[in-house]
Structures are given as C-alpha cells and as structure tokens.
Amino acid sequence: MKTSIGIQTKKPEKACADKKCPYHSNLSVRGMMFTGTVVSAKRHNTVTVEWARRAQLPKFERYEKRKTKISVHNPECIAAKEGDMVRIMNCKPLSKTKNFVVIENLGHVFGYQDRMEALAASKVKERSKKEEQEKSAQPVKDEKDQEKEEQ
C-alpha cells in the first residue's frame, strides 16, 4: 500500500486487489477533484456521481443551476453506495466512459432516500394528471364527432 496518494484523504480501512484502486495499485490521480452524490451504484465497480454547478447567463445577468453526471470507478476497498457523498479525482482513462476514481467516501447524505421517494411520487402524480386530462379530453372529441356525423 502506498503511504499517500498525494492529497490529504482518509485512507480506506480495508485492503483490496483492485487493479484500478488509487491506494492499492499503481494508479495515479491528477487533475480535477470534485465532490458529488452517488445516484446509482448498480454497475460492477462503477458508480454514477452527480453534482450541481452554476452556469452564467450573460443576457439576463443571472445564473442557472445545471448538473454534471459522470461515471466514476468505485474501488473495492471504498465500495460507495447509492446516496453517499464522495470525493472523486481525475486519473488516466480506465474505460471508454471512466476517467475519474472515488478517492474518499464522505458518508451518507441525510434524507437522500426521502428525497428520491418524494421525487418518484411527484412523477407518478404528474403522470396520473396527464392521464386524467387525456381521458377528460377524449369524450369531448367524441361528442364533436357525433355532432358532425349527425349534421
């Protein structure tokens, strides 16, 4: 195990045999470092990390919120789960879509599960509203058609 990866982080307690681990293999990290939330951990040794950023709109002299969402390698010794806050850092390309690696797990985001459930519920509501509108719109069309037919 390396004594350090070059930046101050909490080292993972477990050891691992991951060839793409910044702590237990010779993978070096360099470049940009970000902190984000794990929104998916379904893939093998890969997590999807998302974080919000600000983008300037010069015309309106204001900012808008945008999100960055990327695939990140999740070493076996760190094993971040969905809803975890993680620190990630740039490294050499590990696959077609991965050139970042998780270097530290900062713990679970408070209320992540509740937020995701609320989001899913609001989507269901929107869908049912649309269906209701479609249902209420259809009979009106039918009546008009019938009137046309009668004429």
By CB under 5 A, the count of residues binding Zn ion is 6
Work out which of 5, 9, 20, 24 binds Zn ion, going by CB under 5 A.
Answer: 24
How far CA 92 is from CA of 17, 105, 124, 151, in Å, comes to 19, 21, 41, 73
Q: How far is the CB of 1 from Zn ion (least distance, A)?
A: 8
Question: Which residues ranging from 113 to 132 are in contact with Zn ion (CB under 5 A)?
Answer: none
Per DSSP, the residues of 3-19 read: S--SS--PPPSS----T
Taking CB under 5 A as the rule, does residue 22 contact Zn ion? Answer: no
Question: Which residues ranging from 63 to 92 are in contact with Zn ion (CB under 5 A)?
Answer: 75, 77
Residue whose CB is less far from Zn ion, 77 or 88:
77
Any idea what the Cα angle at residue 85 is, between residues 84 and 86, rounded to 5°? 110
Tokens of 96: 């077609």
Task: Please choose, out of 1-9, 24-32, 115-123, 137-145, the segment that lies near Zn ion by the rule CB under 5 A.
Answer: 24-32
Q: How far is the CB of 90 from Zn ion (least distance, A)?
A: 18
Work out which of 5, 20, 21, 48 binds Zn ion, going by CB under 5 A.
Answer: 21
Show the site string, 31-70: x = touches Zn ion by CB under 5 A, - = not: ----------------------------------------
Residue whose CB is less far from Zn ion, 24 or 71:
24
Residues that bind Zn ion (CB under 5 A): 16, 21, 23-24, 75, 77
